[in-house]
């Protein structure tokens, strides 16, 4: 049963919040991109500055031995939550600032970090499952093909890698769905990490076809953005952030 609640909490977005999400038409996946573009162009210079600062932070933290990648996993939802708040400010006609990168640290930080913890735990589980299944699969195929035959062993290894990739994709997709809108749902509606990830998964599941179109458009844009030495990502990155906000608004706030 859908839960309709007024968005009256301090961090809530404008409108009536449907926690279970609304099913949108297929074309919505394209509209999330087209409606994100005006949010970018209103303050293009500041969006690019935000993108540059975010990239620098990620690069600097990422080179820290041992702890860098762990910190990025845990705090990426915090930064994402801040950027969602920034996108909402632009949508309302207010100013985007560099400070929005860090806004999540003062808005539901604990739950945002917990989202990162759950995401990291999910990644670890996926890696373990894929490793076990791939190892068993490769061992079985090598045994069936005869270990003394190099060609057969090579084919078995390739088949095992392909199997591992397919399994990883199948297991990662639900995890990505649970993560996609979770930061926005935490900062805008004060949902706990688990509830936000459940709501994100439900919203994505109801909109599989729009997300397929959204992904195809994003793939094409990503290829184009990568051509000029990757500089196009200084534009596409902010537009992608805005598109997540637009998608959240369309799915969870639409009547």
User: Hey, where are the domains in the chain?
Assistant: 9-114+182-250
pLDDT of residue 10: 39
Given a contact cutoff of 8 angstroms between Cβ atoms, the answer to whether 133 and 115 are in contact is no
| Angle of helix 233-252 versus helix 193-205 axis, rounded to 10 | 90
Measured between alpha carbons, how far is residue 29 from residues 71, 79, 133, 209 in Å? 32, 24, 34, 8
Give residue for tokens 């979770």. Answer: 182
Residue 73: which of 25, 31, 23, 112 has the closest Cα?
112
DSSP 170: H
Top pLDDT among 164 and 13 is at 164
pLDDT of residue 7: 43
Structure tokens at 28: 């919505």
Measured between alpha carbons, how far is residue 6 from residues 10, 108, 191, 252 in Å? 12, 19, 14, 12
Which residue(s) pair with 194 in the sheet? none
What is the number of other CB atoms lying within 10 angstroms of the CB of residue 20?
17
As a whole-number percent, the residues of the chain with pLDDT over 90 amount to 66
pLDDT of residue 184: 97
Query: Distance between CA 239 and CA 15 in Å, rounded?
Result: 23
DSSP 119: H
Which stretch of DSSP H or E encloses residue 210?
helix 208-226
Strand segments (E) across the chain: 4-6, 16-18
Query: Distance between CA 242 and CA 235 in Å, rounded?
Result: 11
As a whole-number percent, the residues of the chain with pLDDT over 70 amount to 83
pLDDT of residue 176: 94
Residue 90: which of 31, 28, 35, 10 has the closest Cα?
35
Given a contact cutoff of 8 angstroms between Cβ atoms, the answer to whether 180 and 208 are in contact is no
Query: Distance between CA 16 and CA 6 in Å, rounded?
Result: 5
pLDDT of residue 39: 96
Mean pLDDT, rounded, for 109-118: 95
Instruction: Decide if pLDDT at 166 tops 60.
Output: yes
Tens digits of per-residue pLDDT, 3-49? 444 443 434 446 788 898 999 999 999 999 999 999 999 999 999 99
* DSSP string across 122-136: HHHHHHHHHHHHHHH
Question: Residues near 232 by Cβ (< 8 Å), separated by ≥ 6?
Answer: 224, 225, 226
Mean pLDDT, rounded, for 172-198: 95
Mean pLDDT, rounded, for 62-87: 92
Instruction: Decide if pLDDT at 99 tops 50.
Output: yes
pLDDT of residue 136: 67
What angle is formed at CA 192 by the lines to CA 188 and CA 197, rounded to 5 degrees?
85
**Listed range (77-86, 145-154, 181-190, 192-201) with the worst mean pLDDT:** 145-154
Tens digits of per-residue pLDDT, 190-246? 999 999 999 999 999 999 999 999 999 999 999 999 987 889 999 999 999 999 999
Measured between alpha carbons, how far is residue 250 from residues 13, 55, 227 in Å? 12, 28, 31
pLDDT of residue 182: 97
Which residue(s) pair with 192 in the sheet? none
Mean pLDDT, rounded, for 56-71: 90
């Amino acid at each position: 049963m859908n839960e309709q609640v007024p968005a009256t909490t301090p961090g809530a977005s404008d409108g009536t919040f449907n926690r279970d999400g609304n099913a949108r038409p297929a074309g919505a996946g394209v509209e999330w991109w087209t409606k994100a573009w005006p949010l970018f162009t209103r303050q293009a210079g500041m969006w690019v500055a935000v993108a540059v600062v975010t990239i620098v932070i990620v690069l600097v933290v990422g080179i820290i031995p041992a702890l860098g990648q762990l910190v990025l996993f845990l705090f990426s939802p915090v930064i994402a939550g801040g950027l969602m708040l920034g996108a909402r400010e632009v949508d309302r006609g207010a100013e985007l600032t560099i400070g929005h990168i860090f806004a999540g640290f003062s808005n539901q930080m604990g739950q945002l970090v917990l989202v990162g913890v759950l995401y990291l735990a999910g990644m670890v589980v996926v890696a373990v499952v894929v490793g076990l299944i791939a190892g068993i699969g490769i061992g079985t195929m090598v045994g069936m093909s005869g270990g003394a035959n190099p060609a057969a062993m090579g084919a078995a290894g390739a088949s095992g890698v392909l199997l591992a990739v397919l399994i990883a994709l199948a297991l990662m997709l639900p995890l990505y769905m649970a993560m996609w809108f979770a930061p926005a749902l935490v900062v805008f509606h004060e949902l706990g990490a688990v509830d936000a990830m459940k709501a994100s998964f439900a919203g994505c599941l109801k909109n599989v076809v729009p997300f397929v179109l959204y992904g195809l458009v994003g793939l094409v844009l990503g290829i184009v953005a990568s051509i000029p030495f990757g500089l196009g990502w200084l534009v596409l990155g902010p537009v992608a952030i805005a598109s997540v906000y637009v998608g959240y608004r369309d799915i969870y706030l639409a009547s």
